[in-house]
Amino acid sequence: MLDQRLLRDNPELISQQLGRRGMAVDLTGPQLIAQQQRNLEEQRSNLQAEGNRVGKEVGLRIKAGADPAGAEVKELREQGNRLKQQVAVLEEEEKSLNLRLREQLLSLPNLPSAETPDGKSEADNLEIKRWGTPRQEEGLQEHWQIGERLGLFETERSVRIAQSRFITLLGQGARLERALISFMLDLHASKGYTEVMPPILVNSASLLGSGQLPKFAEESFRCAEDDLWLTPTAEVPVTSLHRDEVLPADQLPLKYAAYTPCFRREAGSYGRDTRGLIRLHQFNKVELYWFVRPEESAAAHQQITADAEAVLEALELPYRKIELCTGDLGFSASRTYDLEVWLPGAGAYREISSCSVCGDFQARRASIRFKETKGTQLVHTLNGSGLAVGRTMAALLETGQRPDGSVALPAALVPYFGAEALTPPA
């Protein structure tokens, strides 16, 4: 959420930065509410100060010999009560204005960082680097063809169980998914991350804190009888792991690697990636999440991205690193690197990780601060996929496919899977 003080004192900056995202926003209403709120706060503060003065005056008069039940003291006490009533009225008005302003601010995205390149769409994203040599041959199969041939997953029966865009992993497919999750968590743990397995059901406050609500309500699955939603990403529960907390400064940075199943409606994506593991309503993901001091935020963004890249490199999967332009940024992000893995069968790079720095945007929504000798301030948060497991499996299947129908696995994964290759059924 954006800073109310910035809205009140420099709305032109907000309009300019949101304009970089391609948004034309009229901030007249929210700015007026913010100014009214400040005026009420000043009035309330003055009345409270006057009430404190009257209270002290009562004590001084009595100490000087005035009758506690006399007219002089009674009049002062009545004056004090009137001031308290006026303060209570102003507090209710402030509360109402705060709620109205918060509702309007919650719908505004984060401001892009100065380093984020300007652009209108993904066509304006910048390629930063490439790693590995993409496999390019005629006749390579796509992962869904390989999966069906090897009996790794079942699609049609999954529709019977749930609906389209769900998949059931079987045999070697289920074992490979489990191996990838363990491999990713172990790799991140070796780099100092604390492993987390949070609740899959999250409440509305958690979605609000991370930025999914109110904007992305239609993208999420909700439990009709409870204030609970199926988490779209572990970013949501991990943000709220420290919601409404003040963290000791010496605990920072906090680094978490969280595994969760994730659930998304994928609204508006019908007709895209309808086969295989790329775009499902339910998928597994290992998420990286940092809580840091503001001055450590930029360096942490480079590191969390490098940690996601390390998974791809350990699995010998060629990829490219893309910096998103302002027009392609996610709602809560101020700067983002996407990692796109090469899929030889499809002959294309596909996103497998998005690593973002969010500044204090999520921390303000979720009220997460840290304490130093000079007081408290908001932490900065960062998140990145480390990695999306299904898409990693898709890349492994297409990269490791061999003429005999088997699929070679990278050496780093062999101890987790228990074999050097996936083999066709007998």
The answer to whether position 394 is within a domain reads yes
The answer to whether position 114 is within a domain reads no
Residue 271 has a pLDDT of 57
Distance separating alpha carbons of residues 311 and 334, to the nearest angstrom:
24
| Domain co-membership, 96 together with 162 | no
| Domain co-membership, 146 together with 92 | no
The answer to whether position 111 is within a domain reads no
| Domain co-membership, 223 together with 367 | yes
The answer to whether position 87 is within a domain reads yes
| Domain co-membership, 194 together with 310 | yes
Q: Give the residues of the chain that fall short of pLDDT 50.
A: none
* Domains of the chain: total: 2
| Domain co-membership, 83 together with 201 | no
Cis ω for the linkage preceding 253 (within 30 of 0): yes
Please indicate whether residue 320 is annotated as part of the active site: no
Determine which one of 353, 356, 391, 398 is catalytic: 391
The number of angstroms, rounded, from the C-alpha of 395 to the middle of its chain's C-alpha atoms is 25
Residue 317 has a pLDDT of 98
| Domain co-membership, 94 together with 153 | no
3-state secondary structure of 50: helix
| Domain co-membership, 158 together with 282 | yes
The answer to whether position 398 is within a domain reads yes
Residue 415 has a pLDDT of 98
The answer to whether position 70 is within a domain reads yes
CATH number at residue 409: 3.30.930.10
Q: Could you write out the DSSP letters of every residue in 72-132?
A: HHHHHHHHHHHHHHHHHHHHHHHHHHHHHHHHHHTTSPPPPPTTSPP-SSGGG-EEEEEES
Determine which one of 206, 354, 356, 385 is catalytic: 354
CATH number at residue 100: 1.10.287.40
Q: What length is written for the chain?
A: 426
| Domain co-membership, 78 together with 132 | no
| Domain co-membership, 239 together with 358 | yes
The answer to whether position 49 is within a domain reads yes
Q: Could you write out the DSSP letters of every residue in 209-240?
A: HHT-TTTTGGGS-EETTTTEEE-S-THHHHHG
Which of 49, 80, 105 is the C-terminal boundary of a domain? Answer: 105
Domain that holds residue 215: 122-422
| Domain co-membership, 400 together with 282 | yes
Distance separating alpha carbons of residues 250 and 326, to the nearest angstrom:
34
Residue 273 has a pLDDT of 67
Please indicate whether residue 391 is annotated as part of the active site: yes
| Domain co-membership, 152 together with 28 | no
Please indicate whether residue 264 is annotated as part of the active site: yes
pTM for this entry: 0.91
DSSP annotation of 401: B
| Domain co-membership, 48 together with 145 | no
The answer to whether position 117 is within a domain reads no
> Which two tokens mark 272?
């895209």
Which of 105, 135, 153 is the C-terminal boundary of a domain? Answer: 105
pLDDT digits (tens, 9 = 90+) for 335-388: 999 999 999 999 999 999 999 999 999 999 999 999 988 899 999 999 999 999
> Which two tokens mark 349?
């790079």
Which of 54, 77, 105 is the C-terminal boundary of a domain? Answer: 105
Determine which one of 20, 279, 335, 365 is catalytic: 279
> What are the strands of the beta sheet with 126-131, ordered from one edge?
126-131, 319-323, 335-343, 348-359, 380-388, 282-292, 254-263, 194-196
pLDDT digits (tens, 9 = 90+) for 293-341: 999 999 999 999 999 999 999 999 999 999 999 999 999 999 999 999 9
